[in-house]
Structure 1
Amino acid sequence: MDDEPSAIEGLAIRLAAFPEVRIIGQASTVDEALALINQCAPDLVFLDIEMPGKSGFELVKQLQPEICPAVVFVTAFHHYAVQAFEVRALDYLLKPVKTERLAEAIARVSDNLYRPASKQQLLAAVDQLQQREQQITPGIEPDYSIHQDKLVIQDGHQPVQLVPYSDILWIDAAGDYMCVHTGDATFVMRARMKSLIQQTLPANFLRIHKSTIVNLLHINSLEPLNNSEYHATLSNNKTLKVSRTFSRELKTRLSPNKPAG
């Protein structure tokens, strides 16, 4: 995924020389890339960091943990900065991409295809890279707190964000990181799902998957799947999977005949 057609074409030409690689889609924006990933569930994504409107980091934040592909970052950043990715077992390519370096990256991905980096690793790498780029040492203060009807998020190297609970559509977890999604932005904070559910979020938030919390007020419809699972469609047309473990409680909470508590 890249914002420059010539860069996409050049990378595609180089990738064509590798029989183990099959290109199933190309995108020039984060929104296009996210739609392709959700539709095609690729094993590997070549992702540019600098893209129009939203960065490649924003795409990482929006990936659902259950379908997170392996990622090779494509960047013009200097080598010292991208060392942050190396310690997370990720790979990167510096522009202009050289065929020999591309071959190394593909070989590395092939060796780790069935144990690719998790979303937690990707977020940790992004966090580390951004801190090194800005020469900021993270503090020891909590990264979130409660403020009346808003979630207060302190992301270490970003301004404090006050996000109204009513604006939050869903939250997904990646280890020590939580991605808080509104209709037009995603915020990352360090927190545990259990802590958020039990101590922070209001009652209209419900866990629907081992890694996903949804705001019930933003669910528009439920589509039944196999094995008592569902797809929940939100007010922004985002679709989330509801696992069998949590489907019964979700249906109960959404039922118009539910007795008043």
Structure 2
Amino acid sequence: MTQTLSVLLVDDEPLAIRLMEKRLNEYKNIKVIGSCNNGEQAIQFINQNQPDLVFMDIQMPGLSGLDTVKKIQAELMPAVVFATAFEEFAINAFDLNAVDYILKPIDAAHIERALTRAAERLSARQEHNNKSHLIHAVKLIDKYNAANNKEKIVIKDNDEITLVEQNEIAWIDAAGDYCCIHANGKTHIKRTTLSKLLKELDQSTFKRIHRSTIVNLNFIKGAKPLPKGEYLLDLGHNEQVKVSRSNKDQIKAFFEAGG
């Protein structure tokens, strides 16, 4: 492996983080750039630092490792290796199409395998983002036609139908043929494209801020300028989304109008 990978460690156990960092420091092409104790911290760190690879514990207080990846903006999604002490979670990890999983206690050979797979995944990354791989195996039925209901978004999952009020949606990001709808601290997955979903939404409230991201202007709490003319929007509740340079003008107009 010749590619240098920046790595984030996410685990609620400090000892586990120290052990993993010690193992990874043995590799010249691996640079551990940070560690987090929970999913909320991990989302914020990934938004701001964009690591290549994340070793993520599955069972954590608050957001689990599986729930954390659903809340990361598609453009910022790193490669993910899940670490767990419970073997039954291994199937779930592969169902989310992670790079790999590691069972605790940590085995050096498994780390070597995971790093090799991560380097291969990143070097072969195509137009489709990592999040589309992570979400791909989530089983969904074809979208329920909500054309006649403009106040709500209808999400059908097997035999269960969920109605999500538009004014409760904070932001939406696309993962291949699916959209992750973030509302009331939950993430709902709907099989549709971002362009089609945008047509169902209130155009005065929902704005496209990235190729694969829509934000509800009413949820914006503040903004932080980034290099290259981009913004990082604060939506509250530890949720942040990035505005691309090509979409910054409408966000600037929103702030200039007084929000």
Same fold (TM over 0.5): yes
Aligned ranges for residues 60-209 of structure 1 at < 5 Å?
Answer: 60-75=69-84, 76-78=86-88, 81=91, 84-85=94-95, 88=97, 90-116=99-125, 118-125=130-137, 127=138, 139=141, 141-142=142-143, 145=146, 147=149, 149-156=151-158, 159-198=160-199, 200-203=200-203, 204-209=205-210
Shift of 1:10: 2.8
Aligned residue in 2 for 1:20: 29
Unaligned runs of 5+ in 1: 132-137
Shift of 1:183: 4.6
Letter in 2 for 1:95: K
**Does the CA-based 8 Å contact 1:48-1:74 persist in structure 2?**
yes
Unaligned runs of 5+ in 2: 1-9
Relative to the length of structure 2, the TM-score reads 0.78
**Does the CA-based 8 Å contact 1:209-1:246 persist in structure 2?**
yes
**Does the CA-based 8 Å contact 1:216-1:254 persist in structure 2?**
no
Relative to the length of structure 1, the TM-score reads 0.78
User: What is the percentage of aligned positions where both structures have the same residue?
Assistant: 37
Q: 1:156 to 1:22 in 2, by over 3 A?
A: farther
**Does the CA-based 8 Å contact 1:178-1:189 persist in structure 2?**
yes
**Does the CA-based 8 Å contact 2:82-2:93 persist in structure 1?**
no
Instruction: Identify the structure with the greater strand proportion.
Output: 2
Alpha-carbon RMSD: 3.1
Letter in 1 for 2:54: V
**Does the CA-based 8 Å contact 2:207-2:214 persist in structure 1?**
yes
Shift of 1:178: 1.0
C-alpha distance in 2 between matches for 1:55 and 1:115: 28
Counting matched residue pairs gives 243
Aligned residue in 1 for 2:248: 247
* Higher relative contact order (Cα pairs below 8 Å, separated by 6+ residues): 2
C-alpha distance in 1 between matches for 2:145 and 2:105: 39
Structure of greater Rg: 1
Per the alignment, in what secondary structure is the counterpart of residue 102 of structure 2? strand
**1:114-167 CA deviation, whole Å, 9 max, x = no partner?**
345611101124x2xxx6xxxxxx54x42573645222222348x533222111
Letter in 2 for 1:202: D
Q: Detail structure 1 runs of 4+ shifted over 6 Å in the superposition.
A: none
Aligned residue in 2 for 1:54: 63
